[in-house]
Amino acid sequence: MTTMPPELGDSRKTQELLWKQIKEQGHLPGFSNVVQQIVGAMQSENEREFSMTRTVLSDPALTHRVLRLANSAMYAMFGEINTVSRAVMVLGTESIGHLALGLKLVDSLATVSSTSVGVRTEMEKAVLAGHIARQVTAQASTRDAEEAVVCSLLHGLGRMVVAFYLPLYWEAIQTLTAQGNDESVAVVKVLGMTMVDIGRLIARRWGLPRDLIESLHDVMPQTGEPLDHAGWLAALSTMSSSCARVLCDKAGDDEALAAIVDGYADMLGMETDTVLAAVSAAREAARDDPALARAATVQAVAEAPESDERRRDATPALVRGVADMRDVISTINTSQLMTMALETIYKGLHLKRAVAFLRNRKEGKYLAGMCFGEDIEHLAPRLVFNDAYQPDVFHAALANDKMVCVKDACDPAFRAKLPRWWKDAFPTVRSFIVLPLTVNRHPVGFIYGDWDDALPVALEQGEIAALNELRALVMGKHGPQ
């Protein structure tokens, strides 16, 4: 017989215990740790596209998913897209952010789903609801598909949280429901609050966007005025979650599914048969979803770390990135082009880090701006040096307007050519490159990249040619300072 948890029906005690459990066990692994970074990139007032690009590039699986979406039939009019920075321009930071949130949530749910049958079951329903939302929005082109998917994934957040952090409460709810009580009544009797309340508490704690939080409630079927965007999201996520529960709990009761869909189709501005077809397609698509397989984790893409093959010829990757730049150079601004250039170098050459330095003539200094890579953001404020000529490798590259690849910075004969700011910032770096950016022979900045490897690195001729073309594109866009 299940041991009933203490303080049944006391919402204050429920919340106290929930926060205590979260403090002891941590938030859902792999999701809440990155959600603020993703949401921050979505809401950033400055350099939103660059912030989102950096967030995506920090996760190989997410990089793969973004590029796959950007090259899907939906965006075929834009041609082949090879860089995340261009994908962000095409899809928009909102869509990319919602895609990232959805992927991270699925990853985290799959990680914890092996802890109990209850968590596993709720995770399966959430993922299936996401599939249903995606298939439905494919028929409603005016709506944001990725936002709808993540709303549907999160619709059952309260249920997943209770099953994961409060298992005794969860068992008590299941016991009361099995005895014939309505589940919503059983939830309030046990928790003193609804699953929606729990879901919204967690969503606010994570700092999720307002529209996502607002969608976390059940919308009853109704007729009347057309729904606004928030109402449409809530209705879709309610229907998707309801259908997912039927498919998981009742082995796909067709009559129950038809009744649910018939109640919501008009609210969504769609025909019942169209929505039913979408639900059926979602059920088929979900069968191949690794998150629904009986495995401990989800792998959005089976991938080996790129660094394992880092020094394979990078020319094709660089050429593809340069092609992206060339395709859009007439329609984007200098900042966007610099983002694309920095990404192309960073990913193409498999660098440890890449930094764009810009010259501030008023201050007489070169300052680090955009940067990709590990542990680079906290270093950026220290990456500053005077623009007055010094006999070092950076000033030499800028003065001569020639790309420099330092193969072995550890060579004692070369150490005198390295400035102190660089030695202090990158004491373990052995090989690095400097791509000067000049207009009419006047330096305006440079791109820096390095490898943190024990073996020295040299560039191939094809790589050099592609990098020189990239440099020419950036300089052609950059006006005199």
CATH of the domain at 217: 1.10.3210.10
Residue 187 lies in a domain: yes
Domain boundary pick from 258, 292, 326? 292
Same domain, 273 and 336: no
Query: DSSP for 6-69?
Result: SSTT-HHHHHHHHHHHHHHH-SSTTTHHHHHHHHHHHH-SS-HHHHHHHHHHT-HHHHHHHHHH
Sequence-ordered list of residues with C-beta below 8 angstroms from that of 404, at least 6 positions apart, any chain: 393, 396, 397, 433, 434
- Cα-based distances in Å from 457 to 291, 305, 349, 461: 40, 19, 11, 13
DSSP, collapsed to helix, strand or coil, labels residue 202 as helix
Q: What integer pLDDT is reported at residue 318 of this predicted model?
A: 94
Same domain, 122 and 263: yes
Same domain, 314 and 279: no
Residue 416 carries which side chain, given as an amino acid letter? A
Residue 298 lies in a domain: no
The answer to whether 273 touches 230, Cβ cutoff 8 Å, is no
Residue 180 lies in a domain: yes
Per the document, the length of the chain is 481
Residue 304 lies in a domain: no
Residue 268 lies in a domain: yes
Q: What integer pLDDT is reported at residue 289 of this predicted model?
A: 67
Same domain, 233 and 369: no
Same domain, 359 and 244: no
What is the domain extent for residue 417? 309-477
Same domain, 128 and 247: yes
- First-to-last alpha carbon distance for the chain, in angstroms, is 77
Q: How many angstroms separate the CA atoms of 307 and 300, rounded?
A: 19
Q: What integer pLDDT is reported at residue 28 of this predicted model?
A: 65
Q: What integer pLDDT is reported at residue 31 of this predicted model?
A: 63
Task: Count how many domains the chain has.
Answer: 2
Same domain, 19 and 163: yes
The answer to whether 96 touches 56, Cβ cutoff 8 Å, is yes
Q: Residue 254: name the closest of 234, 233, 283, 232 by CA.
A: 283
Q: How many angstroms separate the CA atoms of 158 and 382, rounded?
A: 44
Same domain, 61 and 121: yes
Residue 218 lies in a domain: yes
Same domain, 222 and 353: no
Domain boundary pick from 292, 327, 351? 292
Our CA angle for 240, 245, 246, nearest 5°, is 100
Helices (H), 48-194: 48-57, 60-70, 84-91, 93-112, 117-137, 145-154, 157-165, 167-178, 183-191
Q: What integer pLDDT is reported at residue 296 of this predicted model?
A: 32
Same domain, 272 and 342: no
Helix (H) or strand (E) holding 356: strand 353-360
Q: How many angstroms separate the CA atoms of 357 and 390, rounded?
A: 17
pTM value surpassing 0.85:
no
Residue 467 lies in a domain: yes
Domain boundary pick from 261, 292, 323? 292
The answer to whether 194 touches 12, Cβ cutoff 8 Å, is no
Q: What integer pLDDT is reported at residue 185 of this predicted model?
A: 93
Sheet holding 431-439, edge to edge: 384-386, 365-373, 353-360, 442-451, 431-439, 404-406
Q: Annotate 58-90 with b (16+ C-beta within 10 A) or e (fewer).
A: ebebbbbbbbebbbeeeeeebeebbbbbbbbbb
Residue 299 lies in a domain: no
Same domain, 463 and 329: yes
Per-residue pLDDT tens digits of the chain, which is 481 residues long: 445 555 678 899 999 999 998 888 876 655 666 777 788 888 776 678 898 999 889 888 889 888 888 888 777 777 889 999 999 988 888 888 888 888 777 777 766 665 677 788 888 888 899 889 988 988 876 557 888 989 998 998 899 889 888 989 999 999 999 998 999 999 999 999 999 999 999 888 888 888 889 888 889 888 767 788 888 999 999 999 999 989 887 666 788 899 999 999 989 988 999 999 999 888 887 776 655 553 333 333 334 344 444 556 789 999 999 999 999 999 999 999 999 999 999 999 999 999 999 999 999 999 999 999 977 888 888 899 999 999 999 999 999 999 999 999 988 889 899 999 999 999 989 999 999 999 888 899 999 999 977 778 888 999 999 999 999 999 886 554 4
Query: Any idea what the CATH number is for the domain that residue 350 is in?
Result: 3.30.450.40
Same domain, 156 and 89: yes
